[in-house]
Amino acid sequence: MELPSYFAKYLQKIQPTRASRERAIQLHKTLRTRLGQSNDALFSSWFSGSFLYGSYIRNTAIQPIKDVDICILLEIDIENYTPEQVVRRLKDVLQNLGYKGKTAYQRRSVRIDMSSTTIDAVPVVPIDDEEEKLHIPDRKQKEWIFTYPKAHMKAATRINKECAGRYIPLVKIVKAWYRYQAKQKRNIERPKPKGFTLEALVATYQDPDSPSYAEAFTNFLQNLMDTCGPLLKKGVFPQVPNPGLPKEYLKLTFETDEVALFREIVEESLELSKQALEAKTIGESSTIWRKVFGSDFPEAPSSVKSLHLSEVLTEAEEDAFDPLMEAEISEIDLPNLPDLTDTVRIVAKLSKQKGGELTRKHLSGGQPVPKYTWIRFSVVNTTVSPPYDIKWTVENHGKEAREASDLGHYQMSSWQEPHKWEQTGYRGSHYMICEIIKSNTIVARTKHVVSIK
């Protein structure tokens, strides 16, 4: 079983809290302000700005956020300064800006230990006529090397958009899965592959049009083993394409035992995932998924363990699909809190034909729907007083929709015609957006997610 509401709750469990993300933003603002106020004349002549990077800013981090990576832009000639000189200067400056006793040298940065979060302050030097390539100091190699943080940010944004916002959540699922399997279950303190390598593997081997997270995770493992299984069995970790740099690969080093551990976890989890998908009852499926993801994955209540999913689709299940939380999980940028004063609620029901008998209710983000199914969307409740207009907007995503050149359309109706019929046609995840318009102004909005298999 796909158990979409269970996966939604699992994502909420591993998602960094809004407060922790806002704290990371504040830590960056404070550091940038202090660096701009430095009394070090030489450093002040270097410093030109800063920006966040890493898994936090790509929104691929999982709870808890333990470190925040900040690039410190320096306008210097790297021929005149060694990596050691620059990193040492940055550390001295930070010591005098309120971080005394909290800093430590790292290979390419200065670590700042805060109460619950670590800041990695990374000095970088822009390169003329290069928008994405930067120089970064490597104290161990005693040379300046290239780094591409902005390219990785752009790649994550592009891939996530192509996947209708499913790439970022899948990366989090994969990271949390491997953390449980390697660190918590097998007590490996520093398992490989690390977070960004897992992120790059998802970018390469995901099935972007999978209609559910359960299938997306299973298909990712299957694609990975189909392509890389022979090498993994030989104790060789495969080359991993760099998602931000076409035709380039990540620079990775693996010991034979590290490769063997990764292969063992993937093979075991793939078999369990297939069993969970084929399970006939909610209890059986959730129990197997918990073997894959650990106790963070929801356990089925005793009252529904013996039931099939279709027997428990109640309105209470919709609590798992909070639009703001969904946006925080799936979008790169932290979404603004809703500024619309009114609300609207829509309900979707399935039918074999347009205008025909309505067979059952479909929950937003719920069980995947077969192709060529008709869905009637209805405004069932709004705080807006009539008269008003309704704008129904369909957003299609995925390969099939792109090949058909059908990425969406919209239609207007009045408050007296609160229904909209649509037929499913393309595999993937798609949106129906309902907006209430009064006096030519959008005053309420909601979104219903439909996954098609």
In a domain, 412, yes or no: yes
Q: Is 376 in contact with 186 (CB distance < 8 Å)?
A: no
CATH of the domain at 23: 3.30.460.10
Residues 409 and 434 placed together within one structural domain of the fold:
yes
pLDDT for residue 117? 85
Q: Which of 149, 181, 196 is the last residue of a domain?
A: 149
Q: Which of 149, 168, 190 is the last residue of a domain?
A: 149
Taking residue 137's Cβ as centre, other Cβ atoms within 10 Å add up to 28
In a domain, 316, yes or no: no
What tokens appear for 125 in the block? 């030097």
Given a cut of 80, whether residue 333 has pLDDT beyond it is: no
pLDDT for residue 311? 53
SS3 49: strand
In a domain, 106, yes or no: yes
Strands 110-113 and 103-105, bridge-based pairing: antiparallel
- Chain mean position to CA 38: 36
% of residues, the chain, pLDDT over 70: 95
In a domain, 269, yes or no: yes
Structure confidence by residue, pLDDT tens digits, 149-198: 889 999 999 999 888 889 999 999 999 999 999 999 999 999 999 999 99
SS3 42: helix
339: DSSP letter: -
Residues 179 and 129 placed together within one structural domain of the fold:
no
Structure confidence by residue, pLDDT tens digits, 339-365: 788 999 999 999 999 999 998 899 888
97: DSSP letter: I
In a domain, 208, yes or no: yes
N- to C-terminal Cα separation, the chain: 14
The full length of the chain comes to: 453
Q: Is 75 in contact with 126 (CB distance < 8 Å)?
A: yes
Please list, in sequence order, all residues whose beta carbon lies within 8 angstroms of the beta carbon of residue 395, skipping any fewer than 6 positions away. 164, 407, 408, 430, 431, 433
Burial environment of residue 389 by CB neighbours within 10 A (0 to 12, 13 to 18, 19 or more): middle
Residues 133 and 78 placed together within one structural domain of the fold:
yes
pLDDT for residue 315? 44
In a domain, 37, yes or no: yes
242: DSSP letter: -
Residues 8 and 120 placed together within one structural domain of the fold:
no
Residues 97 and 52 placed together within one structural domain of the fold:
yes
Average of pLDDT values for 119-148?
91
Residues 193 and 284 placed together within one structural domain of the fold:
yes
pLDDT band at 246 (very low <50, low <70, confident <90, very high): confident
pLDDT for residue 318? 46
Residues 157 and 283 placed together within one structural domain of the fold:
yes
**What is the tally of structural domains in the chain?**
3
Residues 409 and 281 placed together within one structural domain of the fold:
no
Q: Which of 131, 149, 167 is the last residue of a domain?
A: 149
Residues 275 and 362 placed together within one structural domain of the fold:
no
Domain that holds residue 57: 14-149
pLDDT band at 123 (very low <50, low <70, confident <90, very high): very high
CATH of the domain at 392: 2.60.40.10
What tokens appear for 438 in the block? 């009064």
Structure confidence by residue, pLDDT tens digits, 299-315: 998 888 887 765 555 44
Residues 185 and 203 placed together within one structural domain of the fold:
yes
Given a cut of 60, whether residue 414 has pLDDT beyond it is: yes
Residues 280 and 363 placed together within one structural domain of the fold:
no
In a domain, 344, yes or no: yes
pTM: 0.85
Given a cut of 90, whether residue 406 has pLDDT beyond it is: yes
Residues 231 and 199 placed together within one structural domain of the fold:
yes
d(CA 409, CA 396): 9
Given a cut of 60, whether residue 243 has pLDDT beyond it is: yes
In a domain, 301, yes or no: no
